[in-house]
Structure 1
Amino acid sequence: MKVVVVGGSIAGLACAHALFSAGCKQVIALEKARTLKPAGAGLGLDPQTCQILAEWGLHQQIMDSTIPLTIDQIQTTDSKSNATRVLARDENFNYRATHWSDLHRMLYDKLPRDTVHWGHEVVSIQQIEDGDGLGVKVEVKVAQTGQTVVVDGNLLVAADGSMSLIRKHFVPHQHLRYLGYCAWRGVFDYSKNDSPEMIASIKKAYPDLGKCLYFDLAKETHSVFYEMHGKRLNWLWYATQPEPHMQMNSLTAKVDKIAIEKMHEEASKICVPELYALVKATAEPFLNVLYDLEPLKQFVWDRVVLVGDAAHPTSPHGVRSTNMSIIDASVLGQSIAKWGFDKISTALAEYESIRLPVTSQQVLYSRHLGFLK
């Protein structure tokens, strides 16, 4: 059984772990990025996801690179007086906070070195049938040589993200849905202790920082704020606006100095002074343009299966995207281990029957949360 995973992000690497755990001997991941590099910002891992990662031999890495978020607090801030009032507080939240890059590196380092093929961009796919049964041919452009090569496999796992080329191949008329707002994001590293007064004021304004996920509601917007391992503060601020013009090769919009200055001006009117000072002091904030997708009717087409954001792009409000991807991978691996490679169709059908209804509800619920907030 040779499995080709399209995508070397968190979903793709998680699938590689799950497939190796299921007994697959040949797993390759094709990733268009040329190298492993730091990217992204903060995310939250739920207990089920942490358990799955531990089963893949990553328990110690989780403990070393995450911090527990035991509290989930929703509060509201009056933009004029900066007065804050707690609306809801859950002290049994039981998530763990980490940085996207830390989780990605953790997954990558635990895989065999020849699993991920960097600089391999998928151009097209084709399902085939020969004497060995059903399979796939993947046409790939290799960045280092500029040549196009063909990769054969018995199964193709599409983990190529929200703008999935594989999904478009099977459902070409179903398009991403702009949610009506974007998310400014940033990470502030205070490990060098070069801004002690600002950090002290932040910790005074947010006394449970280091164990709490703060949602702060303000007029026509809201923000998210929490601490990550390594003395890094992660913030996210939503901006309601018309859909930006996108090239659609990334969901991160390019921002210039003028856009950042405008964001700072708006943040000064809405955020409490302590959070505004942190936002203004953060180097290289970036803008995520937010989309989701109407739930699909299927995730499997013969020997092609969708996982993660390729299967169910979602808004960030339910803290579900990364967790959904890793759980997808785990269920896929367990289904293959249960039914074996000679009953791969049954295994894929079981994966679809388990994950499709759950993720569809989570996408719609996350959309509803975003609308309310």
Structure 2
Amino acid sequence: MEEGKRKGKAVVVGGSIAGISCAHALIGAGWEVVVLEKTSALPTGSPTGAGLGLDPLARKLIESWLPQPDLLHQSTLPLTIHEHKATDAEKKISWKLTRDEDFNFRAAYWADLYTLLYNALPQSIVFWAHSFLSFSLSDDKSRVTVKTKVLTTGDTISIVGDLLVAADGCLSSIRQSFLPDFKLRYSGNCAWRGVLDFSNNENSEAIIGIKAAYPDLGRCLYFHLGSRTHSALYELLNKRINWIWYINHPEPELKGTSVTMKVSNEMVKKMHELAEKVWPREFARLIRETKDPFINVIYDADPLEKLCWDNVVLVGDAAHPTTPHGLRSTNMSVLDAAVLGKCLEKWGLENLTSALEEYQCVRLPVASEQVLHSRRLGRIKQGLPLPDRHAFDPKNATADECEELQLKKIPYFSDAPSLLSI
């Protein structure tokens, strides 16, 4: 920063991976950052997500924020293969639909990735147990005042900054203040999720069976298609297997501000019974032996027309709620943060409007196409109809139809913005 120029200050609302990534990128751009997070402490588990896949660009960006870049490699497993299988539940047979052996992702556990990113930040910038209440702009719209409730004391405090970064997730209240009629779009399905820790029973029947059925576990992202349903399966570091099972379901009634549903023992029992009918016995057994499975209700949203208003900017799921089918949510959040940081560094505080306009220009078209493609992938894999084609049937699918399932078909799959010079 040039001598005599004031340092910009950003208030980031939401301390999940999108918010923490923004903190890294904005500090790198020479800004002062405060992150407001309503939870009370560093998460040790992942209530709303377990495993995730990191693409090459996201990994390079994250590594640039870490004091020891190899820490990311050490805490993830390779996903060098991407395979789609199918099952005929009646005939009890499975077969390969398509396989990509040049897949270059890595599998991370949400809490492990979060801890890496958090520990690489100055610890004082994250304000835990601070619940966002409201914000207001100064008369000349050059400053923003954020009110937050300190949950440990009940006090309300105000923080003044130059920029408000809304990283408050798909149910963003900041976005709602600009788009009061905005609504999430229910995808038509919910996802059972779970992580099986097999570190103490590597030679159990269940693990031997699942590794025989999915021989490339440890380096392969498997998608398994059944009749109007599909699942994902891959291994995480430290002998853990992450699985997701999508089920077509009427939209459930959510309570609170989370898209994660609490489940009862009865719900889990019925899910186990259904798994026995739908999946090969090895996968059904894996599901049955997983402790504390949970349900994510799957939403996305039609692409927004803009991502910034004055000195307020949306990032992550607040900017582009998406279904998980394209493995884009975390990757898009990391890229949002990096692009925002580079734009602020390029234009400087005195040209904040131009910086935010360039961020929007770079990220909006890419994120919009990826959200819509992920939506399409979800409908194809669930056997749901599309306007331009019949419902996908694994039993009769052509080679071209199977190739459409591959993640490398996602728009801008391997593109990096020139702004990042990576």
The two structures have a TM-score, normalised by structure 2, of 0.86
User: What does residue 211 of structure 1 align with?
Assistant: 219
SS at match of 1:77: strand
| 2:123 alignment counterpart | 113
- What are the superposed Cα offsets for residues 88-121 of structure 1, whole Å, 9 maximum, x if unpaired? 0000010000111111111100000101100101
Cα deviation digits, residues 216-240 of structure 1 (max 9, x gap): 0001100000001111000000111
**Does 2:12 align with 1:5?**
yes
Bigger Cα displacement from structure 2, 160-169 vs 121-130: 121-130
What residue is the counterpart of 2:172 in the other structure?
164
Q: Which residue does the alignment assign to 2:241?
A: 233
Query: What secondary structure, in the 3-state scheme, does the structure 1 residue paired with 2:215 have?
Result: coil
Q: Distance in 2 between matches of 1:2 and 1:108?
A: 19
Residue 195 of structure 1: how far off its partner (Å) = 5.6
Aligned residues: 370
Query: Is residue 363 of structure 2 the alignment partner of residue 341 of structure 1?
Result: no
* Partner Cα separation in structure 2 for residue 147 and residue 249 of structure 1: 22
Deviations 1:259-318 (A, max 9, x none): 111111111111111011010000000000010011101000010000000000000000
Do structure 1's residue 92 and structure 2's residue 93 form an aligned pair?
no
Q: Does 1:350 align with 2:327?
A: no
The residue that corresponds to 2:86 in the other structure is 76
Partner of 2:398: none
Q: Which residue of 1 aligns with 2:280?
A: 272
Letter of the structure 1 residue corresponding to residue 297 of structure 2: V
Equivalent position of 1:46 in the other structure: 55
Say whether residues 1:18 and 2:28 are aligned partners: no
AA paired with 1:51?
Answer: K
1:113-133, Cα deviation, whole Å (9 max, x unpaired):
101100101111111136xx6
What is aligned with 2:41? 35
Please name the residue that 2:407 is paired with: none
Deviation at 1:61, TM superposition (A): 1.6
Q: Which residue of 2 aligns with 1:67?
A: 77
**CA offsets 1:120-165 (integer angstroms, 9 cap, x no match):** 01111111136xx611111111100011111111100000000001
Secondary structure of 1:123's partner?
Answer: strand
The yes-or-no answer on 1:182 pairing with 2:190 is: yes
Distance 1:339 1:112, change over 3 A: same
Aligned mates of 2:344, 2:92 — CA distance in 1: 54
The 10-residue stretch of structure 1 (350-359 or 120-129) with the greater mean CA deviation from structure 2: 120-129
Q: How far does residue 59 in structure 1 lie from its aligned partner after superposition?
A: 1.9
Tell me the distance in 1 between the aligned counterparts of 2:125 and 2:89. Answer: 50
Q: How does 1:238-317 map to 2 (within 5 A)?
A: 238-317=246-325
Counterpart Cα distance in 2 of 1:11 and 1:104 = 10
- Structure 2 unmatched runs, 5+: 1-7, 382-422
Residues 1:55 and 2:64 aligned together: yes
Q: Is the CA contact (8 Å cut-off) linking 1:163 and 1:248 kept in structure 2? A: no
Secondary structure of 1:114's counterpart equals helix
- Are the counterparts in 2 of residues 41 and 186 from structure 1 also a CA contact under 8 Å? yes
Give 1:254 deviation, angstroms: 1.1
Shift in Å, 1:194: 6.3
C-alpha distance in 1, partners of 2:222/2:159?
A: 46
Q: CA RMSD in A?
A: 1.0
Shift of 1:197: 2.1
Give the aligned partner of residue 408 of structure 2: none
For the residues of structure 2 that align with 1:262 and 1:33, how far apart are their CA atoms?
32
Q: Which residue of 2 aligns with 1:192?
A: 200
1:320 to 300, 324, 328: 328
Q: What is the distance in 2 between the residues matched to 1:101 and 1:292?
A: 23
Preserved contact between residue 6 and residue 31 of structure 1 (Cα < 8 Å): yes
d(CA) in 1 for partners of 2:138 and 2:229? Answer: 49
Q: CA deviation at 1:35?
A: 1.0
Find the residue that maps to 1:226 and give its secondary structure: strand
Asked whether the equivalents of residues 69 and 211 of structure 1 are also in contact (C-alpha less than 8 Å), the reply is: yes
Secondary structure, aligned partner of 2:222: strand
> Quick check: 1:223 aligned with 2:231?
yes
Question: Where does the alignment leave 5 or more consecutive residues of structure 1 unmatched?
Answer: none
Percent identity (aligned): 51
Which of 139, 142, 152 is equivalent to 2:150?
Answer: 142
Residue identity matched to 1:301: W
- Deviation of 1:45 after TM superposition, in Å, equals 0.1
Shift of 1:248: 4.1
- Describe the SS at the equivalent of 2:344: helix
Shift of the alpha carbon at 1:196? 2.1
Moved more, 189-198 or 246-255: 189-198
| AA matched with 1:115 | I
The code of the aligned residue for 2:310 comes to D
- Determine which of 166, 173, 176 is the counterpart of 2:181: 173
SS at match of 2:321: coil
Query: What amino acid is the match of 2:65?
Result: W
